[in-house]
A and B are shown apart, each in its own frame.
Chain A
Amino acid sequence: MTKYIFFIFLTVLLSGCFDKGDCLITATNLMQVKLLTKADRKENKVKFSSVTISGSNAILYKEVETATLYLPVNPGQGSTTFTLNYQSTTSTITVSYSQEAKVIAVDCGAFTYYNDLQLTDTTFPEGSIKLFNTQLLHDVTTQAYANNVEVYF
Chain B
Amino acid sequence: MSQRKRMQIMLKYTFSISFIFILVLTACGQDSTFVEPADTIKNKYLPSGLRIGTDVISIIRSQSGDNFDGWEINADIDFYRYYLAIDYGSWARSEALSNGTYQNDGTYFRVGADVNFMLKDPDRNMFFLGIRYGQSKFDEMLTYTFTDPNFGDFQKSVTTGQITGRWIELTSGLRVKIWKGFWMGYTARLKFAPKTSDTPGVVPYDIPGYGRADKSTYWGFNYQVFWRIPFRKLN
Which residues of A are interface residues toward B (Cβ below 8 A)? 2, 12-13, 15-17, 19, 21, 29, 53, 55-56, 58, 60, 72, 74-76, 98-103, 106-113
Known: A101-B202, A102-B202. A74 touches B142 (CB 8 A): no
The answer to whether A103 touches B205 (Cβ under 8 A) is: yes
The answer to whether B150 touches A100 (Cβ under 8 A) is: no
Known: A58-B150, A74-B151, A110-B144. A100 touches B98 (CB 8 A): no
- List A contacts of B214 (CB < 8 A): 21
- Of A17, A56, A102, the most chain B CB neighbours within 10 A belong to A102
A31 CB to closest chain B CB, in angstroms? 12
- List B contacts of A15 (CB < 8 A): 217
The answer to whether B154 touches A106 (Cβ under 8 A) is: no
Question: Which residues 207-229 in B have Cβ within 8 Å of A in the complex?
Answer: 211-212, 214-215, 217-219
The answer to whether B151 touches A112 (Cβ under 8 A) is: no
Question: Which residues 124-158 in B have Cβ within 8 Å of A in the complex?
Answer: 142, 144, 146, 148-151, 154, 156, 158
Kindly report which residue of chain B lies nearest to residue A80, judged by CB atoms: B151
A77 CB to closest chain B CB, in angstroms? 9
Known: A16-B219, A102-B202, A102-B203. A110 touches B154 (CB 8 A): no
Whether B96 is near chain A, meaning CB under 8 Å from some CB there, is yes
A72 CB to closest chain B CB, in angstroms? 5
**Residue from B142, B151, B211 in contact with A55 in the complex, judged by beta carbons closer than 8 Å:** B151
A32 CB to closest chain B CB, in angstroms? 16
The answer to whether A56 touches B96 (Cβ under 8 A) is: no
Q: Considering only CB atoms and an 8 Å cut-off, how many residues of chain B contact the other chain?
A: 31
With A56-B150, A102-B203, A103-B203 given, can you name 7 additional A-B contacts, CB distance below 8 Å?
A19-B211, A19-B215, A58-B150, A75-B154, A101-B158, A106-B102, A110-B102
User: What 0/1 readout, one digit per residue, does chain B (68-98) give for beta carbons within 8 Å of chain A?
Assistant: 0000000000000000000000000001111
- List A contacts of B142 (CB < 8 A): 101, 103, 110
- Of B98, B149, B211, B212, the most chain A CB neighbours within 10 A belong to B98
Known: A15-B217, A29-B148. A109 touches B205 (CB 8 A): no
The answer to whether B97 touches A110 (Cβ under 8 A) is: yes
The answer to whether A72 touches B150 (Cβ under 8 A) is: yes
A90 CB to closest chain B CB, in angstroms? 20
- List A contacts of B151 (CB < 8 A): 55-56, 72, 74-76
Known: A75-B151, A101-B158. A109 touches B201 (CB 8 A): no
Known: A101-B201, A110-B142. A12 touches B148 (CB 8 A): no
Known: A15-B217, A112-B146. A107 touches B98 (CB 8 A): yes
The CA-CA distance from A102 to B146 in the complex, in Å, is: 13
The CA-CA distance from A47 to B54 in the complex, in Å, is: 70
